[in-house]
Amino acid sequence: MTSIEDLPSVIRHWIGGELTDATDRRTFDVADPVANTPYAQAARGSAADIDRAVTAARAAFPAWSGLSNRGRATVLNRIADAVEARHEKLAAFETYDTGLPITQAKGQARRAAENFRYFADVIVALGEEAFRQGGEQVSYVVRKPVGVAGLITPWNTPFMLESWKLAPALASGCTLVLKPAEWTPLSASLWPEIFAEAGVPAGVVNIVHGIGEEAGQALVDHPDVPLISFTGSTDTGRHIIRCSAQHLKTTSMELGGKSPAVVFADADLEAALDSVVFGVFSLNGERCTAGSRVLVERPVYEEFTRRLAERAANVRVGPPSDPATEVGALVHPEHYEQVLNYVGIGKKEGRLVAGGTRPDHLTDGNYLQPTVFADVERDARIFQEEIFGPVVAVAPFDDETEAIELANATQFGLAAYIWTSDLKRGHRIAHAVESGMVWINSHNVRDLRTPFGGVKASGVGREGGAHSIDFYTESKIVHIALGDVHTPRFGAAS
């Protein structure tokens, strides 16, 4: 475990291949979620810093976009090597900064490295389309990187989620400006040494820290950034889309979720229980795809709810650095208070069957015992609104029709989980549920080749696999005549 002496006291921007302070020298405090005490100062980016970063990215764009796909893939694989070489330090930083349990943080380096290796393979193997119109004409598609990409990333599992955007943007030939979340900038401080070690040319990647309303807003508003990829709250996503309309920017929005886990009476209840408990309480419940609404068929409702409450009560809440911990500290006092507020609301809207309080053995820090509310009505706030913490709402249903209705009864549509031994029914439900992703008898196992994203208030667009390459590139169609051209001769003399 990295000790406090190993942590940086200052987190600086990375612009044009150099570590730099904010133009106006401003900083903001970065605190850990256990002591809630500032341990570092981060550069507070402004519009001037964003402009410096965009200028550096534009200058680097011709050479980076002109590099062969194989050349960029080679660099991406070197980035993956550098990430993996720092896996212990990365996990320690991520745990310290976010409150994630160390056992869960340790997988982030591997997943981040795999993102770079995967897109290195994709960009080398990717072909371009061609079309033939008989013997008269042939047409072919040319992909071109869009330009400078603006990437705005969230505070939950920050390093890995940054890699989800960095890897396809770089593979596609874009240069970029990354704005990490202000609550969790620590692991992002590792990127400069990783990129330098991997030989990423100066200006290809630029990192500007700061407050979303300042640095993030400036990135969204900058006229020389034609593309914004954002992961975060639905309200912020709506705001970014409104602002992006001014310059007709392309946007990709991975937003909020209130995903249903639908459990039928014929399901393998033990497997479903394992999935539900892990799906809503892992990563401290701070995950967009959490199955935070559990819908259970009435014949097994009481049994499943009782067993869910028992499991929640036994989840180990403790210091993030303890390998035995399953739920650590929530990321920030502001977020912690918001989650506690929802717990208070839930006590009026449902039947509290587990948790709802701070664990007795943890007197300080942003800790909450995993919380289960039963008998929750569809119009309850804890059923409708994203809580983003270790809190789950449970409700019964009587038949397939009601299960679909309840699953779709929110503004969100990111993910859904279906548990049944009747695969025909599983497919019917999967097709009827309004969500971008569905898992049948599975618990959020990701395949990097597949599209990731939601519908309704959960997002706009898809990333993942070739969909990411589509987002970071423009397709140009070139038409070529193969024979004599017989165009109607308007205006020619008879």
Backbone phi and psi for residue 434, each to the nearest 5 degrees, phi listed first: -85, 90
Encoded tokens for 275: 């999935």
Instruction: Give the C-alpha separation, 302 to 296, whole Å.
Output: 9
Look up tokens 């002109």; give the residue.
66
Active site positions, annotated: 254, 288
